[in-house]
A and B are shown apart, each in its own frame.
Chain A
Amino acid sequence: MRRHFFYSTLLVVSLSLIASCGGNRRRGGSESVLKIGTTKDGMKSASILGDSYLAQFAQISNPPLMTMTKEGKIEGIIIKSYEISEDNTIWTFYLDNDLYWSDGTQVSAKDVVFSIQLFAEEVPYARWMREILKKVYEKENNAVVFELYKPYARLDFDFLTYNLLPQHIWGKIEDPLRHTYSGVMIGCGPFYISKIDLNAGFILFQKNPFWKSTQPEIERIELHVYNNKDVLALALEKGEVDTYYRYNSSYPYPNLERLEATGNFNFIEEPHLSLKFLGFNLRKTPMSDLAFREAISYAINYEELIKLDLLGYGEIPSRGFLPRVMPNFTETTPLRFEPDKAKYMITRAGYRDSNGNGIREDLSGNDLELSILIHNEFIRLAELVRDYLRTLDIDVSLKVVDTNTWINLKDAYKYDLVISRTSPWGMLMHANWATGYFDSRRTGEGVLHTVEDPAFMKLCDNILTTKDERELEKYAQKVQDYYAKNLPAIALHWKRIVIPYQKKFSGWSPNLLYGIYNIENFIKLRIIRGESFEGSENSGLAKT
């Protein structure tokens, strides 16, 4: 008995000793620090040029030329204004003269020229610039001129994602693509990166002392990187971080109630640009048959998908694919779940079960055996869709592969159906309005490139060469009408994302592209001091 007591005491003492080892670890909770918890996702190195995930986080220290407002408008972030020649081949950006790097050097047009040339020459995913940009040079009045080989009206959109780098620092770096940072990285945003340590799992940002515009109340931003979203959820609940951020993601819906019950959090709940969809391989039959796609659109129980996949945080999509929050959204017919109509339509289209084996035959008389190509992120959703299609007497199976294989098979058109998702930037890329996912001349990770219809491609080309707002509005409507009429893919739901944050913060202003991770948000963010947070901004969760 005495021996057991001794061992138990020894265990407790050892545990306490080890636990107290890092007692000085917990910083004294300065009130002007914002701690954001995120997941590692694809972040692999501390190279701002070589790692696009890190580059995304670095946008508050090394902002791109343009940003997107809460309403989805594109405007300058480090530029005062910009103009385009009538033939859309010359773009001139006028820089803000009040912009300084965090070492006190003024930001100049040279920095912009240097950065864009560096991206074009060094970065694999920016090589498209070589094919479009003829010349980049600086001009008087702190302006930068981009001369293009051909008319192109989307350069402002493209410049939403390329970070600005100081020439006086990066010009001396021998191999910029391979250059990694661990200490201070000079930036010209309201914050600059003061430390990157992926082994410790954090990136620290300090306030830029030379930032002349509206001063943020927050002195420091700490980005805490977790390998696992379940652990991140626990850390958030425990108060280790103040909020949750993942590009294109909501806080996990199943954990929301638990977090709300703590009483420490408010929630931002907003409709989102991205969506999940069922895509068709339009190069294969029967997917190329519009009547078949129509029938499938009626076989899907959208309400159930919202309930099970989004736990109610979403709405039933329309045939026009694009979510309501998309700039220039046009109302099209909502998608409806009508199983009887689906059966009637597929039979009328000629897909019948003539041999009575319980599976319909295609127009050549073979059993309709289709597979849905997915990666494991979409298994639950795919199982539901598979079951809906089986009610139409189609033999559907799932082909689950890893992301890289998925992309490979998808690019080789070796699939029947796919379930995938769009991203906010993906919805804007190419000719906007999700055209980048369907135009057959494109390629990329999530891009289906299945629409070869000349009318659609002409529509994309028209969008790419005009800046006329009224024309663009007209084209936006045409694109959505095209989706509604031809159903190249079926949106499965339109989601709302929910971001929790500690009640001591207020004034959040997420934008459509990066959610809460944007400069305007961090400038506007306020800390409620010395008073009750209870009534601070709204908070409750509302689902449909």
Chain B
Amino acid sequence: MAISKKKILRYLLALFIIFSLNFIIPRIMPGDPLTNLLGEEFSLSEAALQELRSELGLDSPLMLQYIKYWKNIFLFDLGYSYHFNQKVIPLITGRMKWTLVLLLPSIIFGAILGTILGALSGWKKNALPNKTITWTFLTIYSSPPYFLGIILLYIFSFKWGLFPFKGFYETGTLSDIIQHLFLPVLIMSAFSASRNYMIMRGSVLIEKEKLYVVYARAKGLYKEAILFRHIFKNAILPVLTLVALDFGFLFSGALFVEIVFSMNGMGTLIYEALLSRDYPVLQGCFLIITLMVIGANLFSDVLNGIIDPRVRERQ
């Protein structure tokens, strides 16, 4: 199961490049981090502005900032955000905690629902229920998350009054949190499921034409057994990679759901940091996302090796 040295080196190189881009990109964006700190109505002398710049470390040469950036990464110190008035690590962990509460169930439900329904649909592609499900998932897949969020909120919260309009919680009890998260998780799961469904369906459509399926049939296996015992294992490989990538996508993709349901998660944190050019927060968020995506990819590599003997042999 060991990952080859070459692969590890590749991951380390990817980390180095992404971390460096992470430093460079916010700084080449137009705009000034000082702007939003001072607000609309201020009048400061140039000397006072310079003093502030120096306090924020914005006046030091880029190379020095870059070296400090790497030093801080190794010290697990992501700096301080003057916009959020907080150290970046507790700020991100505070937000990530809630985003994970929103994302993990969505990824899990999305993966289970998408793969099973996708497999069934690929197996019997002309059955009416499968056609209906395909159209439903296609509609979800091609709808903007914001739009779907508003529609569900309108029906379930505004019209029927079943769910609250905003926030992760109100009283903070478990049932209260579940009630607040139900609609957002439903939407995120639906999006995740629709992507997994499409991939799984396509994958099963290809696999079912292969010779080992004919052989299994010839052996006299039941249809369900062929699908779930043989085809499923081979068809799920691309979905596993997709689920790994989902970690990164859903972190930022959660933004729209967070905006509709007024949730303070990672999506809004990145968005606000971007608008105010909050370098430490932007760097911190992208760093965490990078680590999660690379970690999830590593995990999916290992999982691929377990499921697929061909991959294992290559490794």
Contacts and interface: CB of A to CB of B under 8 A. Distances in A.
B5 to A, nearest CB: 44
Interface stretch (B78-86, B230-238, B243-251): B78-86
A346 B61 CA distance: 49
Contact of B263 (A24, A44, A227): A227
Interface string B143-166: 000000010011001100111111
B179 A19 contact: yes
Interface string B242-286: 000000000000000011111110001000100111000000000
Contacts, number: 177
A409 interface: yes
Contacts of A40: 262
A402 B30 CA distance: 9
A237 B159 CA distance: 11
Interface stretch (A196-204, A335-343, A520-528): A196-204
Interface string A263-289: 000000000000000000000000000
B35 to A, nearest CB: 5
B97 to A, nearest CB: 10
A290 to B, nearest CB: 27
Interface stretch (B38-46, B115-123, B215-223, B295-303): B38-46
B258 A22 contact: no
Interface string A155-170: 0000000000000000
Interface stretch (B68-76, B169-177, B192-200): B169-177
B52 to A, nearest CB: 6
Contact of B264 (A51, A199, A238, A436): A199
A197 to B, nearest CB: 8
Contact of A45 (B44, B80, B85): B85
B182 interface: yes
A402 B179 CA distance: 35
Contacts of A202: 167, 170
Contacts of A240: 165
B85 A403 contact: no
Contacts of B85: 44-45, 47, 50-51, 177-178, 180
B135 interface: no
Interface stretch (A350-358, A444-452, A475-483): A444-452
Contact of A25 (B45, B48, B86, B170): B170
A124 B36 CA distance: 11
A193 interface: no
Task: Give the size category of B's interface with A.
Answer: 35 or more
Contacts of A469: none
Given A234-B153, A234-B157, A402 B31 contact: yes
B158 A237 contact: yes
A436 B41 contact: yes
Contact of A426 (B40, B182, B259, B261): B40
A487 to B, nearest CB: 23
B268 to A, nearest CB: 7
A429 B154 contact: no
A173 interface: no
Given A25-B170, A408-B30, A409-B30, A227 B262 contact: yes
A404 B52 contact: no
B272 A44 contact: yes
A224 interface: yes
Interface in B52-94: 52, 80, 82-86
B48 A18 contact: no
Nearest to A127: B48
Nearest to B278: A44
A404 B43 contact: no
B168 interface: yes
B179 A405 contact: no
A22 B36 contact: no
Contacts of B161: 238
B308 interface: no
A405 B277 CA distance: 10
A103 B153 CA distance: 41
A17 B304 CA distance: 39
A42 interface: yes
B260 A228 contact: yes
Given A230-B150, A234-B157, A127 B44 contact: yes
A199 B158 contact: no
B179 A24 contact: no
A446 B40 contact: yes
B175 A21 contact: yes
A15 B35 contact: no
Interface string A175-206: 00110100000000000000000111110000
Given A18-B182, A201-B167, A444 B42 contact: yes
A128 B45 CA distance: 8
9 closest Cβ contacts across the A-B interface?
Answer: A404-B31, A50-B85, A21-B175, A22-B179, A19-B162, A445-B40, A47-B85, A227-B262, A201-B167
Given A50-B82, A445-B40, 15 more contacts: A125-B41, A178-B80, A199-B264, A202-B170, A224-B166, A227-B262, A227-B263, A228-B262, A240-B165, A401-B30, A404-B32, A408-B30, A423-B40, A445-B41, A446-B40
9 contacts: A225-B262, A237-B158, A238-B158, A238-B161, A401-B30, A404-B35, A408-B31, A436-B43, A442-B43
